[in-house]
Amino acid sequence: MDFLRQLEGAAFGMGDGVICALGMIVGTAAATSDPRAVIMVGLVGGVADAFGNSIGFYISQSAERGVQKNEVRGGKRTRVHTTSENIMNGVASFISTIVIFTIIVAPYLIFPLGTAIWVSFIVGLGMLALLGAYVAGLSRENRLTTALEYAVLGLVGAVVSYLVGYRLGTMLGLQHA
């Protein structure tokens, strides 16, 4: 089996993992100001997101496989994902999501809360930019444009999550002094 066939699952797990991790972690930090809560949400959310990504990706590719089996383009059958490719993409998605969540949570084990938020934020956006540049290279698109696009998407998700977390924390009285 070709390693490149698993890039689809790994890229999905990485992209979703960074955006979800930043959202959960930054939102929880804004809501509670408690690094223990951030670590707990990050690790529990990471496992849940990894399972959701891998199972969802497997189901999606299985449905796509069904369509591919019945599709003909230009008189030729399209390439059909194999069952083992679908399984391996699900596994790649799971592993990449877990790795990403671990990297995004790690600063909260090392730094004070305010510093950890910025470190995880910068690392997450950097990972999205690198993923964008890599994907653009595969498809021969502009690396800088795609890197910026991926980073901006992550930025929007993190800012919205921060604002929602801050507002909920205020409404529920969770803010620590």
Q: What angle do CA 172, 21, 166 make, to 5 degrees?
A: 25
- Give the pLDDT score at 57: 81
Reply yes or no on whether the pLDDT at 106 is more than 90: yes
**Number of structural domains found in the chain:** 1
Is residue 80 assigned to a domain? yes
Write b or e for each residue in 130-159: b if 16 or more Cβ atoms lie within 10 A of its Cβ, otherwise e: ebbbbbbeeeeeebeebbbbbbebbbebbe
Is residue 48 assigned to a domain? yes
Is residue 32 assigned to a domain? yes
Q: How confident is the model at residue 1 (pLDDT cuts 50, 70, 90)?
A: very low
Is residue 134 assigned to a domain? yes
Is residue 29 assigned to a domain? yes
Name the percent of the chain in helix, strand, coil, to the closest 5. 85, 0, 15
Is residue 77 assigned to a domain? yes
Determine the Cα–Cα distance for residues 53 and 47; give it in Å rounded to an integer. 10
Is residue 177 assigned to a domain? no
Pair of tokens at residue 132: 């964008």
pTM: 0.82
Amino acid at 116: A
Query: Which of 9-13, 48-52, 172-176 ranks highest by mean pLDDT?
Result: 48-52
- Give the pLDDT score at 127: 94
Domain with 153 in it: 3-172
Reply yes or no on whether the pLDDT at 153 is more than 90: yes
Q: What angle do CA 76, 77, 79 make, to 5 degrees?
A: 125
Is residue 96 assigned to a domain? yes
